[in-house]
Amino acid sequence: MSLPEVAQKGFSSSVAYDSHRPSYPPESVERLLEVLEIKDVNGVKILDLGAGTGKLTALLAARPEEYDIVAIEPHSEMQKELESKQLKRVTVQGGTAENMKNVPNQTFQAVIVAQAFHWMSNMDTLKEIHRVLKPTACLGLIWNIEDYNAPKDWDMHSDWESTMRDVIWNLDDGHSRFRDMRWKDVFDEQNKSSLLSIFSADPLFGLPIGEETFSFTSWLKKEDIWKRFNTYSQIANLDADRLAKVEKTFWNAINSPQTKLDDQGRVAVHGKTVIAWTSSIPDEPLKSGG
């Protein structure tokens, strides 16, 4: 599969994406590496799949463990932005999650997907990730999700964020995002029997998936919040008329008397960093020692 057109066009401004999207809270990265069983393990080989402009890649490359990282990114402009950072011990290459034919079997101790698994949550992806992971090694997922891009059952911290979440949800382009939680469906799908597995399912990854969340708050100027908001593909892909209507709604909402400002005129942007993880199930039972 190739990158969906809405992502290809929506993320074409890779510099803006890299400038305005937030980094990941240190405690969430520490915890993710811990549950993947690679924290404090030197030199392990990690696949950063759908690496984007390298928001997470840079954090991994700076770690004292000196990981050996392969970053795969299908969007050419994002790939260029990542390459321009010249990160140590990071090999950047193009490719898609569904077809990593240049990657040998059982290569990685961990596969991490940051801010992207919802674009690739299908069985072809799971099969490829399982193929390139070492037996019993882990798949880790991480997202930064601001309130205005959140699932409908998340509590909102402010009226303006609630208003803009309604805007986001009403801009349905037919593609799944984290907020609809459909990215989880593929893990249930792997447990269903098929014509190739008549008598029982043959799952690739263990269930239930582990999950944890970490709250974050970014204090930003209103103009910078609008710039961050514009990096979401559903906003970036709007035509001029619809974008103008969304922008008007944004300014009306954030300029409401109910919106609190700090002493520097900044507004709090609330959100959660979500991590999820699961371990691969070996094709054959591992032989015990002795």
Q: How confident is the model at residue 194 (pLDDT cuts 50, 70, 90)?
A: low
Whether the pLDDT of residue 195 is over 80: the answer is no
**Mean pLDDT in residue range 110-135:** 97
Provide the percentage of residues in the chain whose pLDDT is more than 90. Answer: 87
Q: What is the mean pLDDT of residues 143-167?
A: 98
Q: Is the pLDDT of residue 154 over 70?
A: yes
**Which residues are CB-contacts of 53 (< 8 A; sequence separation ≥ 6)?**
14, 17, 18, 78, 81, 82
**Lowest mean per-residue pLDDT among 97-101, 117-121, 243-247:** 97-101
Alpha helices of 11-104 — where are they, by DSSP H? Answer: 14-20, 26-35, 55-61, 76-84
Domain range list for the chain:
5-145+175-216+272-279
Residue 43 in this model has a pLDDT that exceeds 80: yes
How many Å apart are CA 270 and CA 24, to the nearest integer? 13
Instruction: Look over the chain and give the mean of its residue pLDDT values, rounded to a whole number.
Output: 93
Phi, psi of 147 (to 5 degrees): -55, -40
Interatomic CA distance for residues 198 and 153, integer angstroms: 38
What average pLDDT does the segment 128-135 reach?
97
User: Please, is 197 exposed, middle or buried when counting C-beta atoms within 10 Å of its C-beta (0-12, 13-18, 19+)?
Assistant: exposed
CA 62, chain centre distance (Å): 19
Judged by average pLDDT, the poorest of 93-102, 142-151, 160-169, 195-204 is 195-204
- Mean pLDDT calculated for residue range 4-22: 93
Confidence of residue 201 (pLDDT cuts 50, 70, 90): low
Residue 246 banded pLDDT, cuts 50, 70, 90: very high
Task: Give the integer Cα–Cα distance in Å for 215 and 146.
Answer: 10
Task: Please state which CATH class domain 5-145+175-216+272-279 belongs to.
Answer: alpha beta
159-169 helix and 240-254 helix, angle to the nearest 10 degrees:
160
For residue 193, name the pLDDT band (cuts at 50, 70, 90).
Answer: low
Mean pLDDT of 133-144: 97
Which of these ranges, 5-19, 30-44, 80-94, 137-151, has the smallest mean pLDDT?
A: 5-19
Q: What are the backbone dihedrals phi and psi of residue 133, each rounded to the nearest 5 degrees, phi first? A: -85, 145
Distance CA 106, CA 117 (A): 20
Q: Is the pLDDT of residue 290 over 50?
A: no
